[in-house]
Every structure is written in C-alpha cells, then in structure tokens.
Amino acid sequence: METRFARVEGSSSKTAAKVILATMLVIVCWAYSPIGIRIGLQAYEPGQLALVRFLIASVFMGFVAMVKGISWPRLRDLPLLAVLGFFAVSLHHIALNYGQRGVSAGAASVLAQSTPLFSTLLAHFVFKDRVSGWQWGCVLCGLLGAGVVVAEDRGLGDMDAHGLLILLAALSWSVYFALQKRHAHRYDGLTVVCYTVWSGTILLFIFAPGMLSAARQASASVNLAVLILGIFPSALAYLAWAYVLAHSNVSRASMALYLIPPTAMLMASLVLAERPSAVVIVGAAIVLVSVLTLRLEPGSGAKVG
C-alpha cells in the first residue's frame, strides 16, 4: 500500500514539475512574440511578416497533426473554422504587426493582455450575458490603464493610432475566444488549433506578393528571429498551454499569463534596449491589476468572464 501511494505521489510530482516547465515555456514564448515582431518588421511589411510567421507555424502544426492525429472537419463546420482563423490569425496578427510599427514591444505586450476586458464587453453587448458592477469597474479601470499606455508609450506629441491597432488585435482575439468557446466543442483542442492556424494562413496569402523577395533581402538574424516567431509563440506555446490546461486548474494556470508583460519588458530591454517610462509602467500595472481582478468576485473568489 505504501509503495502504491509512493508511486502515485511520485507521478503527481513529475506531472507538477512538467506543468511548471510548460508554463514557463509559454510565458517566455509569448513574451518573445512582440520582440520577434519588432525585429521582423525591419525587413518585412506587416502583412508579409504575418504570412511568413504562420506559414512556418502551419508546417510545424502539420507535423504535429501527423504524429498526434486530428479529426477531419465536417463540411458544415468549414465556415466556422474560417471565421476562427480570420479572428485568431489574420485580423489579430495584421493589427498587431501594423500596431507595433509605432508601439514598443513591452507596451504591445501589455495592451495585448487587455483581451478579458473586451471579452466582458462582448459578453454584455453581443451575447447578452449579465455583467456585474464589479466587472464594469474593472473594465473601465483597465481601459483607463490602456489609454495611459497608448498615450505615454511614445509621448503625447507622437501619439497616433498604432496603440489602438494593438487594442483591435486584443478585441479580435476576444471574438475568437468567444466563438471557439461556444461553437468549437465538437473538436478537441489540437484539432481546433490546427484548422484555425491553417485557415488563417490561407487568408493571409493576399500578402504573398513581394514576400519571397523580402525574405531573400532580410539578414540572417532577422530571418532567424522570424523562424523562432513561427515555431515557438505561434505553435509550440499553444501545445504547451494545452498541456498545462489539461493537467492543472484553469483559473490558477491563467494567472501565470500575467507574467508575460513584465517578462516581455525585461526581454525587450535586453534585446531591443527599450526602456519604458514610469508612466507606462503605471499604466501597465493598472491594466494587469484590472484584468486580474476582473476574474474574481469580491468575497467569493468566483471566476467570471
């Protein structure tokens, strides 16, 4: 009996260690994403960069699908999968890439974490879900923090629409998450991710003209950064995150994602020599605290949103 308990405890410890390692991988990969985008934009147009990135991710996910096996999509589900690909890949990353032309990598990472704010707004205005006063307060504070980040990242004199494009990317991801949550339950997570990536990549082919020429002219360091961008944040991190969600509490695991912006800011300071101002850091803190508290009802600890 003791031996059996020891085996169970040892297996649990190994799983916990794997979950921690997978979570750390996810944080580092997604924190690298705005940095890789910033480097890639040195040689590629925003649309070209999105296409190259997801061509790499599509090939990688193709190998994973062959090894793991995925379901064939039903004919009637093809429009849904195309819509998921549009919001999760095409619109999200086009807005993100264009936005990062005028937004620092660290600030972009903060603004991208505003997704739960838009999910709450969608829940109320589109899906007619009840939103409490507590949630409304969190949304308003979060949007205020996002406004501070947008206004102060480049200074009030240089403020333009680039920060708003990052928020559009966050909104696009919120739409994807809402649709995926409500309509994609007929498929397992890996199947949905594969078809979402592939359909979104197909939609990005409108940016194919000039892509090969840009790839040939780009330096080896830029192409290496884009290769990393296509494999790690765009494919491998999703597989690691699926493992985390399958072996841990979803609410607790999601809390770890709030480490992404500070990690991105640290990486950006080392790789890109970016130094966010004190006001941007304050705005980032407002956004992250608002998003974090949005998930909790006061006194009950219940998850919302």
| Predicted pLDDT at 300 | 37
What's the pLDDT at 288?
86
- Cβ proximity of 290 and 138 under 8 Å: yes
- How far lies 154's CA from each of 81, 101, 160, 234, 280, in Å? 37, 12, 9, 28, 10
Q: What are the residue boundaries of the structural domains of the chain, listed by start?
A: 43-294
Burial 229-252 (b: 16+ CB within 10 A, else e): bbbbbbbbbbbbbbbbeeebeeee
Residue 256's Cβ-count burial label (10 Å; 0-12, 13-18, 19+) is middle
pLDDT of residue 116: 80
Longest dimension (CA), the chain: 71
Helices (H) and strands (E) in the chain, counts: 15, 0
The pTM assigned to this predicted structure is: 0.84
pLDDT at 154: 63
Q: Residue 43 has what pLDDT?
A: 95
User: What does the pLDDT read at residue 98?
Assistant: 95
- pLDDT at position 36 is 96
Q: What are the tokens at 259?
A: 């480490």
Helices (H), the chain: 2-40, 46-68, 78-85, 92-99, 105-112, 115-125, 133-153, 162-183, 189-203, 211-217, 220-231, 237-247, 250-255, 260-271, 278-294
What percent helix, strand, coil does the chain show, rounded to 5? 80, 0, 20
What's the rounded Cα separation, in Å, for the pair 178 and 292?
A: 19
* One pLDDT digit (tens) per residue for the chain, 305 residues: 555 544 545 567 787 888 889 989 999 999 999 999 999 999 999 999 999 999 999 999 999 999 988 989 899 999 999 999 999 999 999 999 999 998 888 889 888 888 888 878 887 787 777 878 888 888 889 888 888 887 777 655 455 678 889 999 999 988 988 888 777 778 888 888 899 999 999 999 999 999 999 999 999 999 999 999 999 998 888 888 878 877 776 666 667 778 888 899 999 999 998 888 888 888 888 888 888 887 665 543 333 33
